[in-house]
Amino acid sequence: MDNLSDTLKKLKITAVDRTEDSLEGCLDCLLQALAQNNMETSEKIQGSGILQLFASLLIPQSSCTAKVANIIAEVAKNEFMRIPCVDAGLISPLVQLLNSKDQEVLLQTGRALGNICYDSHEGRSAVDQAGGAQIVIDHLRSLCSITDPANEKLLTVFCGMLMNYSNENDSLQAQLINMGVIPTLVKLLGIHCQNAALTEMCLVAFGNLAELESSKEQFASTNIAEELVKLFKKQIEHDKREMIFEVLAPLAENDAIKLQLVEAGLVECLLEIVQEKVDSEKEDDIAELKTASDLMVLLLLGDESMQKLFEGGKGNVFQRVLSWIPSNNHQLQLAGALAIANFARNDGNCIHMVDNGIVEKLMDLLDRHVEDGNVTVQHAALSALRNLAIPVVNKAKMLSAGVTEAVLKFLKSEMPPVQFKLLGTLRMLIDAQEAAEQLGKNVKLVERLVEWCEAKDHAGVMGESNRLLSALIRHSKSKDVIKTIVQSGGIKHLVTMATSEHVIMQNEALVALALIAALELGTAEKDLESAKLVQILHRLLADERSAPEIKYNSMVLICALMGSESLHKEVQDLAFLDVVSKLRSHENKSVAQQASLTEQRLTVES
């Protein structure tokens, strides 16, 4: 270290004199000291004030330039040295050196800039202002096709520099994307796939850039899918495959890339991994199985990629996914059920799957998870059943297969995601009067629905419970169902639902309330009063923002309520005639006609 102090003093003198030989000796001495103890040497360099001198030594013509850049690269490995390097004015001359024709100078300059940018806002900002990124990208483009080892080393350093420059910085990543870095990196990956270090650097860069939405379109216009799948097929090591997975996952969120990945044969690779790892208990294998099956499900979220893999229900992929459902592996059961839910996104697929026995497979799966079951599997299987129940022709088939009984076993679940899907599945199934009546008289179900109508922390569960209550009345048109709902305390929730921000829910509530008033007014009268239904209807009719169908159904309901003495009195007290007579000139014909009828009814009854 004494030697080091002497060297630094000597360096100050020779830096001014520019005697190349003695300068080179000093620089070698510094590099040696940095190799032995980087941190301590860097502290000494900072303390000596020599950094400012380096700016004047970074000149293209000098034979010492590469060594100076190398020293800067070494000291910038220390976090505490990055801002001093910027403050010493080193960025601008380093960026100038990127125009050098000397490969060693370029290599050391790339390292220096990359290290200064690492996790340093000041470093990145200075390189940005000096225009360093564009020069590096131009180099990558022009050197891309040269495959000798020295050039590949330089390309690796340049990729690393861009990564450090833009890592976790959206605006700098967007800048690189606008400069066209993506097609260049994809080309690099294709040409240099034999070079592990360069390949790895490209993958990390892709991983960073792929998180940005604006990158997806650029990626989709390259052959990235093909290159990644090609690379993936060659990998045996878990870590390398994991690295590729980390790029595939964000890219596969884009529908065009989903289809490209399917066409490039990724699905076959994923199925192979699943088959290899399914029985393994190694942590890495379990993780890889999860990643592969999750990615498989993600690929099925694209309409085109999903339909391509469905192949009319005859496809190898569809059949393999089906075989996951009866498996003993929870991850595969989950992925299988989610995949079925994704395949069940159009009527044709749903009808085919129901006709080919998928419902029974899903019910068997649910049965295995009733007691202390896996919540994610329950949720996925219920999602699949709900989607399958959408086509009208499937409803009766699923009811006779016993789906409602299978689903009702989960009534006691305390997990909101499971509750939500359970409610959605039942609501999809009860278009038929008989099913609605059977379920509507199920006291346990109705009581649970009324309880969930108050689940204020879970808006989805609350909304679905209200909608199912209303649907039970609308589809059954049954006095017994209405009595069950009244006795369970459901009326107030239907009245509240009439004030929902969603027109469809308001409407469903008003139609159900009109049926209650028509079929069982005496039973429901007190509950309708205490829920302040009449005041709510007055408000809905007076509010100019109410949709035409809301106004129409509110008037139908008013007429139906006239059969109750106490509700009739409330209607008279609130001067409904004024509001209704204004609606006779409403632009919607149905509303105007109903307003005339309602006005007559109110006049006669007053």
pLDDT in the model for residue 17: 65
| Whole-prediction pTM | 0.83
Selected residue with higher pLDDT from 63 and 422: 422
Q: What is the pLDDT of residue 19?
A: 65
Q: What pLDDT is recorded for position 423?
A: 96
Report how far residue 132's alpha carbon sits from residue 106's, in angstroms, rounded to the nearest whole number: 12
pLDDT tier at 531, thresholds 50, 70, 90? very high
Q: Is the pLDDT of residue 1 over 60?
A: no
**pLDDT of 2 over the 60 cut:** no
* Local structure of residue 78 (DSSP, 8 states): S
Contacts of 152-158 with C-beta under 8 Å, sequence gap 24+, read 152/192, 152/195, 152/197, 152/198, 153/107, 153/197, 154/103, 154/106, 154/107, 154/110, 155/188, 155/192, 155/198, 156/195, 156/197, 156/198, 156/201, 157/107, 157/110, 157/111, 157/114, 158/110
Average pLDDT over residues 403-426: 95
Q: What was the pLDDT predicted at 13?
A: 76
Helix axes 548-561, 589-605, angle to 10 degrees: 20
| Digit-coded pLDDT (tens) for 187-199 | 999 999 999 999 9
Q: What is the mean pLDDT of residues 539-549?
A: 94
Which DSSP symbol is given to 564? S
CB 568 within 8 A of CB 562: yes
| pLDDT > 90? residue 18 | no
> What's the pLDDT tens digit per position in 124-151?
999 999 999 999 999 999 999 999 999 9
Q: How far is residue 182's CA from residue 468's CA, in Å, rounded to a whole number?
A: 50
The answer to whether residues 549 and 505 touch, using CB atoms and an 8 Å cutoff, is no
**Does the pLDDT of residue 23 top 90, yes or no?**
no
Query: Which token pair is 125?
Result: 């900002």
Q: Give me the pLDDT at residue 606, please.
A: 63
Q: Is the confidence at residue 70, as pLDDT, over 70? A: yes
Q: For residue range 428-475, list pLDDT tens digits in order.
A: 999 888 899 999 999 999 999 999 999 889 999 999 999 999 999 999
What's residue 546's pLDDT? 94
What mean pLDDT comes out for the span 581-600? 95
- Least-confidence region, from 82-91, 215-224, 237-246, 493-502: 237-246
- Residue-wise pLDDT for 154-173, tens only, equals 999 999 999 999 998 999 99
pLDDT-based confidence at 5, cuts 50/70/90?
Answer: confident
**What is the arithmetic mean of pLDDT over 289-306?**
95
Mean pLDDT value across the chain: 94
For residue 238, the model assigns a pLDDT of 85
